[in-house]
Amino acid sequence: MSQPEPAPLRALITGASSGIGRATARALAARGAALCIVGRDAAALGALQAELLEGGAQQVDLRVVDLMDAAARAALITGALAALGGLDLLVNAAGIIGMGTIASTSPAALSEMMELNVTAPMHLMQGCVEALAESGGSVVNVSSVTGLRAFPGILAYATSKAALDQLTRCAALELAPRGVRVNAVNPGVVRTELHKRAGMDEARYAAFVEHSRSTHPLGRVGEPEEVAAAILYLASPEARWLTGVTLPVDGGRQLTCAR
């Protein structure tokens, strides 16, 4: 007697319109997952949705949401859980970066960074806990090597990522009795739009990527697909005894001194 086909994994992915979030959505769709993709760029999300559906994805729900807005986050949780019929995986990939030192970073800049990079993931985890506990699901937060090591010139960003790492560990400890695992990936420099959106022009970004060859021991920057592969591993049954992990996916960057 043949076994019934397993139900598709149901995943909610923020920051899906570009970079690591988009690569994660593509990787999950290729494995038959039912997705809710979230971002602020409606055109980019629509293009990704069409691409995934044309590629054979069974379900791709699209949500254009400003995650800085608490009411919009609450509506997203309600809508996504209804659309997917539950949840197995929450990937908090949305985030922003900004330059600034202890002398130049304003309280408003720090508050904005914390709102999107820490408060929004916490709010989404809180709202999804019951669904994740019901399915025995997991959370993967997209943090940064700057959460593990100190670097100059990005004070608010590094502070927010260190807070996200501690949020990951605390949530993992508290949710373990409910069967929910919470982990994070900590990428080094990855070829995405993150730095350009923070104000780097093409020339500065090209120079930054070239410089990163010397700051990453493996001699290059990462690709979004490499981080997505780590996210899928942390969400997989093979990682079912891992929780509270902050996994460097960084070409060895966390092993080095600031330079």
Instruction: Specify the residue for token string 């038959």.
Output: 32
Encoding tokens for residue 50?
Answer: 């069409």
- pTM more than 0.75: yes
Question: Edge-to-edge strand order for the sheet containing 246-249?
Answer: 59-64, 34-39, 10-13, 89-92, 138-142, 181-187, 246-249
Rounded (10°) angle between helices 19-30 and 224-235? 50
Give the range of the structural domain holding residue 195, as residue numbers without chain letter: 10-248
CATH number of the domain where residue 215 is located: 3.40.50.720
Amino acid, single-letter form, for residue 123: H
Rounded (10°) angle between helices 155-175 and 107-114? 40
Evaluate whether residue 136 is within a structural domain: yes
- Rounded to the nearest angstrom, the gap between the alpha carbon of residue 48 and the centroid of all alpha carbons in its chain is 17
Evaluate whether residue 168 is within a structural domain: yes
Helix (H, G, I), strand (E, B), or coil: what is residue 49?
Answer: helix
Evaluate whether residue 24 is within a structural domain: yes
Evaluate whether residue 208 is within a structural domain: yes
Rounded (10°) angle between helices 120-135 and 155-175? 20
Evaluate whether residue 212 is within a structural domain: yes
Distance in angstroms between the alpha carbons of the first and the last residue of the chain: 61
Residue 95 pLDDT greater than 60, yes or no: yes
Active site residue 205: no
Residue 81: band (very low, low, confident or very high) from pLDDT cuts 50, 70, 90 = very high
Evaluate whether residue 48 is within a structural domain: yes
Evaluate whether residue 1 is within a structural domain: no
Torsion of CA 248, 191, 97, 128, to 10 degrees: -60
Q: Of 157, 212, 234, 243, which residue is the catalytic one?
A: 157
Q: Which residues pair with 100 in a beta bridge?
A: 154
Closest CA to 93 of 26, 159, 42: 26
Residue 206: band (very low, low, confident or very high) from pLDDT cuts 50, 70, 90 = confident
Evaluate whether residue 255 is within a structural domain: no
What is the model's pLDDT at position 193?
74
Number of domains observed in the structure of the chain: 1
Amino acid, single-letter form, for residue 230: A
* Bridge pairing between strands 34-39 and 181-187: unpaired
What is the model's pLDDT at position 259?
67
Calculate mean pLDDT across residues 205-230: 90
Residue 82 pLDDT greater than 90, yes or no: yes
Mean pLDDT of the chain: 94
Encoding tokens for residue 71?
Answer: 């009411």
What is the model's pLDDT at position 191?
84
